[in-house]
Structure 1
Amino acid sequence: MRTIIYLAVVLAALALIAGCGGQKHTVGGAGLGGIGGGVIGSQIGSGTGQTAAIIGGTLAGAALGGYVGSYLDRMDEMDQQKMGQTLETKPDGETSQWENPNTDISHEVTPKETYKGDEGQYCREFTTEADIGGEEKTLYGTACRQPDGTWEIVQMD
């Protein structure tokens, strides 16, 4: 049983290392999601049922993490500027929308809650709805304002 867990962790770590290229968020997200899913699966059942839960959790976690990572990989400079502008200027609950002609992805970003982070910086929770190739996805995230005025996404689900 431990062998399967260790194997999942090693494979995910290799995926993270391989993620140093242009799709680093996709590969890294899949790796981290797979690790998380495998760990959660290891807590379910026993014997062959636990093995199936580990495998299923690893695959489901990798799929979800890979999707979130691919969204971050496809955000180009224009999207990052629009996201930052939205987080900087829009009040909670007001949606900003745009379509990026470079990536053919339309975005709707809505800040949900603004608060001060642990280090005193402003952070905002937000939702983003993206139409990627005709497929609608809703993601939830948190971004914090950096000292240089830019917004950095610190969490994305």
Structure 2
Amino acid sequence: MGFARKASVTVLIATIGISSGCANMSGNEWANKENIGTLVGATAGVLIGSQIGQGNGRTAAMLIGALAGGALGKTIGAKMDENDRQALALQTQQVLDASRDGQATTWTSSHSGATAQITPVKTETETRQVAVKRLPKVQAVPNMTVLNKPYRTLKSANLRNAPDNAADKVGGLQANATFTAIGRTDNNWIMVGRRGVTVGYVYAPLVTPAGTPVVASATSGSAASSVAAAPATDLDALDDSKAKAQGFDLDAAPVQETMAAQTTCRTVNYDIKAQGGSEQQTVKACQAGDGAWELI
């Protein structure tokens, strides 16, 4: 059993104990169904989030799940059960990640009849202080634009310890390698992440979002043809020995710091129906440095 799964089980046991105890504390104003709903809802979100994603994506998923469960748990804690909060947390994550403004997504409980319509209504870019991690040999940058999206290389590319062609080489990426792009610097370099830590910088024209299709070329031996033929490798999935051989040594304790970043914020409307009642709620969430959505 992995660390994240062990932690999830431990948190779940603790939550059940706390919830049971609070339910018996009739004189405690905090221990009402709504506040218990917040706690259980946030924990349920962490549990559902911990089952998806890898590396940095796993951390982001857990945090996004906690956001959705906690934010909604207090409002509808008396009307939805734990399974519904888990499912709604996961749906919220998917909406924040992928739905366009004005696009309504309907969620329906698989067992209770509860429903929710989730609609992003505004997306904006804000400058916020975010926490990021980097290897000690990788230089800091004063600011960046948060990406936290899967990218792949168009061809083999060098990683530098700073966003500059004259900077020291700290590793390399093969053609068609995939990785998490943590952010983009002001001078158009991509911060390459391995398991949530910036391990170097690659020049942006050498990489592309992972979902971008490869355009095949009729010319034999062309760069496009070689990329299409190259086996894909995932930087997060590399075992430690192979990663170290390519310059991605995470043995050194990463440096964590706070920096200014352009990040995406989204305002979302909820229309929830459960147990014969209905509620509406509006929340605003912004992406943190690790891609997690946080309430502001």
Q: Please report the TM-score for the alignment, with normalisation by the length of structure 1.
A: 0.50
Would the alpha carbon gap of residues 96 and 24 (structure 1) be closer, same or farther in structure 2, given more than 3 Å must change?
closer
Match of residue 119 from structure 2: 110
Counterpart position of 1:123: 265
- Deviation readout 1:113-147 (Å, 9 max, x if unpaired): 11234233321001100011122221111122344
Match of 1:23 in 2: 36
| Secondary structure at the counterpart of residue 137 of structure 1 | strand
Q: Structure 1: which amino acid aligns with 2:93?
A: G
Which of these residues, 57, 76, 80, is aligned with residue 71 of structure 1? 76
Contact 2:92 2:118 in 1 (8 A): yes
Partner of 1:53: none
- Listed as ranges, the gaps of 5+ residues in structure 2 are 1-27, 40-71, 130-261
Assess if the C-alpha contact under 8 Å between 1:115 and 1:124 holds in 2. yes
User: Going by fraction, where is strand more abundant, 1 or 2?
Assistant: 2
Which structure has more RCO (C-alpha within 8 Å, separation ≥ 6)?
Answer: 2
1:71-110 equivalent positions in 2, closer than 5 A:
71=76, 74=80, 76-110=85-119
Amino acid at match of 1:135: G
For 1:93, what is the secondary structure of its paired residue?
coil
The residue identity in structure 2 corresponding to 1:131 is K
**Counterpart amino acid of residue 74 in structure 2:** G
Work out the CA distance in 2 between the residues paired with 1:72 and 1:114: 27
Report whether the alignment pairs 1:137 with 2:137: no
Q: What amino acid does structure 1 have at the position aligned with 2:273?
A: D
Number of positions where the alignment pairs a residue of Structure 1 with one of Structure 2: 100
Distance in structure 2 (CA, Å) of the matches to 1:142 and 1:98: 19
Give the equivalent residue in structure 2 for 1:39.
none
Q: Does the Cα contact within 8 Å between 1:84 and 1:150 map onto a contact in 2?
A: no
Q: Which has the larger radius of gyration?
A: 2
8 Å CA contact 2:37, 2:73 repeated in 1: no
Give the SS at the match of 1:86: helix
Change (3 A) 1:110 1:76: same
Give the match for residue 60 of structure 1.
none
Percentage of identical aligned residues: 18
Distance 2:75 2:92 in 1: 17
2:112 and 2:96 mapped to 1: Cα distance?
Answer: 21
> Which structure's residues are more often helix, by fraction?
1
CA distance in 2, matches of 1:68, 1:77: 10
Match of 1:62 in 2: none
Q: TM-score, normalised by structure 2?
A: 0.29
Q: Give ranges in structure 1 of 5+ residues lacking alignment.
A: 1-13, 27-66
Any idea what SS the aligned residue of 1:15 has? coil
Question: What residue is the counterpart of 2:215 in the other structure?
Answer: none
